[in-house]
Structure 1
Amino acid sequence: SALLRVLAGLEPTAAGHARLDGVETGLFDPVQLRQSVAYVPELPEFLPLSIEDNLRLMNPVASEADIQSACNLAGVMEDIRVLETGVGSNRRFGLAVNMGLIDHDPQPGFLKRVALARGYVRRSGLLLLDGPERHLDPEGEQALLRAIEELRGTTTVIVATDRPQIIRLADRVIWLEGGRTRAEGPSSAVLEQLYAEGRVGQTLAEQ
């Protein structure tokens, strides 16, 4: 989590070095750095604006098709379509619903999937996901796995997770414990090591 915040330009490095494309993150203009990456925190926050406007905060020039594509990728578009708030002239539907009027998840994992859609809509070359599977229902987690696969080859995705189903999708894994590297390498090799040490089950390690 701390590493992702450093890469996103939200925190300075306390020790060591963090580089993007070989350049120290501290040499970037902080605003430019934050605008060049897409970061989805574990506990996302929203402004009291419409769902669409909250997504556009990540990409002000996003088209309607871009917004819908990001929501579909996050597996949340169908849930958004059935949303309805207010009465009379204040009645709002779908993407026009104000996030401030949604005081709980209308569906399990809804808010997290909206946050993921907000990350996807930026169309950045670097996507940082902090615990993206947390607070998701099984359907939302399957959508997350499909999204990571779909972004492969076009977007560098860095994920902070301990979920084997997500780890096995990675080209390279660094397993940290207490701030130190415990295992590093291709996902299959790391999962095999974690299984041997009793950290994951055999079925998950072999998937």
Structure 2
Amino acid sequence: MVGPTGAGKSTLSGLVLRLMDPDTGEIVLDGVDLRQIRRGGIPEVATLVAQTPFLFDDTVEGNVTLGRDVTDEQVRRALDVAQASGFVDRLPDGAQTHVGERGASLSGGQRQRIALARAVVRDPALLVLDDATSAVDPAVETAILDGLRERSEGITVLVVAYRMSTIGMADHVIYLEHGRVLDRGTHEELMGRCAGYQRLVTAYAREAAERAAVAATEEPVAPDRQEVQR
């Protein structure tokens, strides 16, 4: 899903997960209207990873499993898909390391990857990523999406995306403006026929390139002489 701020991307994500019901029409998962699924049944088949995930004051493993009966191998595989195994292995106690309240000992990107592993270990039929990789490096994000694609047989992955590299990997793109789906198709199709989509995506890419250029040319600031003397 692609669209400017306020276009309705998060609202549509909420509808898909039945956090709310549509006023008209229906939301269908594998041919079944979500309103026909028994109460509490949605979390068994669908899961959301938000931009700002919540981690408990528990171990890495505890935050991934949330008490579910899963094997160490399943936890490891989920961490691998989320590109989290590398930094987890470097923690003092590996996956048994306590991360602190709200994951305070981890960076934003690390918290996002732990939350993604938590979702992957559930093997959902529907995985919704609402800007869930915004704090990770683009190369890491690409590796995560590649990993999801490799193991996504039977899984629908719905991504709220901004980066060109992410959008280009999608099988189908939905473009929204002002709460409406204006167009849908492949990235190449929308770039060729949808002016709003083209403007937005190229603006995202241009902004990212400008930030990278500024970061590359910035010189480190010399420390204050008094601070050096201290």
The answer to whether TM tops 0.5 is yes
Give a deviation string over 1:105-125, Cα, whole Å, max 9, x none. 34x611111111111111122
Larger relative contact order (C-alpha < 8 A, sep ≥ 6)? 2
Give a deviation string over 1:123-180, Cα, whole Å, max 9, x none. 1222111112311123421322322331343321111223221222222211111111
Residue matched to 1:129: 129
Kept after mapping to 2: 8 A contact 1:51/1:96: yes
Partner letter of residue 54 of structure 1? N
Kept after mapping to 2: 8 A contact 1:194/1:200: no
Residue matched to 2:64: 55
Residue matched to 2:28: 19
Coordinate RMSD, CA, aligned: 2.4
Can you give the 5+ residue segments of structure 1 that lack an aligned partner in the other structure? 85-92
SS of 1:132 mapped into structure 2: coil
Residue matched to 1:105: 106
Distance 1:16 1:68 in 2: 41
Residue matched to 2:88: 80
Residue 5 of structure 1: which of 5, 14, 26 is its match?
A: 14
Bigger mean CA deviation after superposition, 110-119 or 159-168: 159-168
Residue matched to 2:7: none
SS of 2:52 mapped into structure 1: coil
Can you give the 5+ residue segments of structure 2 that lack an aligned partner in the other structure? 1-9, 206-230
2:138 paired with 1:120: no
Residue matched to 1:71: 79
Normalising by structure 2, we get a TM-score of 0.74
Distance 1:151 1:130 in 2: 20
Kept after mapping to 1: 8 A contact 2:99/2:106: no
Normalising by structure 1, we get a TM-score of 0.81
Partner letter of residue 199 of structure 2? G
State the 1:14 CA deviation. Answer: 4.6
Residue 32 of structure 1: which of 2, 27, 41 is its match?
A: 41
Distance 2:144 2:22 in 1: 29
Distance 1:197 1:188 in 2: 10
Kept after mapping to 1: 8 A contact 2:48/2:127: yes
SS of 1:17 mapped into structure 2: coil
